[in-house]
Amino acid sequence: MGGFDTTPRGAGAFGWVDPAYTGDGEYDTYVTRFRAESSSMEKIEAPKMWEMQALTLCGYRDIWFSGRPYGPDLDNVIVNYYRGKWFYYPDPTPYGMDYLHLFSHANGWGFDDNRIYRFGGQSWNLWLELSAFQGIKPCAFKSQTNVWAIGSYADKSRTGNVVLHYDGAAWVEAFAPGENKYVYDVSMYNNANGWAVGAEKVGSQYYGRMWQCLNGAWLERVCPVEEPVGGVEVVSKTEAWALNSGKILHYLTDSNLTPASLGRIKTLFAEGRGSDSNAPAAHACRVPHAPPPAAIPRTEGNADVDSNEQPADAAD
């Protein structure tokens, strides 16, 4: 792994490009970062990797990814680009880190199946293993004591999967949609309001399903598309966006709705012919747009990029 600094260090990036074959038996690797205020793209050469896996950022000059470099043993590593230099750390996982997240420059989280790892500035170490679950996918890092994820049951006799929540003390099962129902993504505005999307297996087919957490209660909503819904992003209590293959879904409703009138999920855009005719009959009053979340004070860990943290629960 020559060509970059391997010395361990103490206490607006955007995307990566898959390694491109150079014809000499190796692959070139680089990340591309984008700075919105200048509309500029910058390609940064990275250590040559056999493959790249999880990617995350802690600032415009602080980029992290995991993968396998070239070398005699091909051990997995976690690579960090920090202020113009490359650093790497041994990856403690058996097959490579699946997901990474950095709250600050020396406060990282990693996920591999049902194992969770932490980084404190010097090394990545196993923190916790959730033996009752497998295939854990983190979805929302609200704070160090407020993390949301999805996972499947380790017990093979149980179908479907579950929404998990870490409250700073323990991981708990926050929501289980039921047998043969699978959550693919979850996004929370606060601990009592958010959305989960996914699918239900009926026979051999999978159909789109959506669930709303409204004031702490999880409710299944009518999904306006038949296909599974793969992603969701919550803007506020009253607005959320979701997507499936070729369709963008939008939920927008008045903040004063009673629980009996939940608003409407609408097909906003479809590559082909689409309709929202299956949406709930009780339509909500429309507003021009939802107010943006309150600004989050910048810290050293996010000084180079705008934070995507949502307001704390007490701010609602």
CA 269 to chain centre: 23
CB 28 within 8 A of CB 20: yes
How confident is the model over 63-79, as a mean pLDDT? Answer: 81
Q: How high is the pLDDT of residue 265?
A: 62
pLDDT at 281 over 80: no
3-state secondary structure of 79: strand
3-state secondary structure of 49: strand
Q: What is the pLDDT of residues 137-193, one digit of tens each?
A: 999 999 999 999 999 999 989 999 999 999 999 999 999 999 999 999 999 999 999
Number of C-alpha atoms within 13 angstroms, CB side, residue 126? 11
pLDDT at 195 over 80: yes
Q: What is the pLDDT of residues 103-132, one digit of tens each?
A: 999 999 999 999 999 999 999 999 999 999
Q: How confident is the model at residue 313 (pLDDT cuts 50, 70, 90)?
A: very low
pLDDT at 283 over 80: no
How confident is the model over 195-219, as a mean pLDDT? Answer: 95
The closest alpha carbon to 4, from 102, 100, 83, belongs to 83
Q: How high is the pLDDT of residue 24?
A: 55
> What are the contacts of 75-82 at 24+ separation with CB within 8 A?
77/1, 78/110, 78/124, 79/46, 79/47, 79/49, 81/31, 81/44, 81/46, 82/9
Query: DSSP string covering 145-192, please?
Result: TEEEEEEEESSTT--SEEEEEE-SS-EEEEE---TTEEEEEEEEEETT
Q: How high is the pLDDT of residue 263?
A: 52
The lowest-confidence range among 50-59, 133-142, 185-194, 251-260 is: 251-260
Q: How high is the pLDDT of residue 248?
A: 87
Determine the Cα–Cα distance for residues 168 and 178; give it in Å rounded to an integer.
26
113: left (phi over 0), alpha (psi -120 to 50) or beta: left
CB 89 within 8 A of CB 75: no
pTM, rounded to two decimals? 0.73
pLDDT at 292 over 60: no
Q: How high is the pLDDT of residue 46?
A: 78
pLDDT at 88 over 80: yes
Of the segments 60-74, 88-102, 127-141, which one has the largest average pLDDT value?
127-141
Q: How confident is the model at residue 33 (pLDDT cuts 50, 70, 90)?
A: confident
Q: How high is the pLDDT of residue 205?
A: 95
At position 310, the amino acid (one-letter code) is: Q
Strands 133-143 and 146-153: antiparallel
Provide, rounded to the nearest whole percent, the portion of the chain with pLDDT above 90: 46
CATH class for the domain made up of 1-129: mainly beta
By residue count, the chain amounts to: 316
The chain-wide mean pLDDT, for the chain, equals: 76
pLDDT at 278 over 60: no
Q: How high is the pLDDT of residue 312?
A: 33
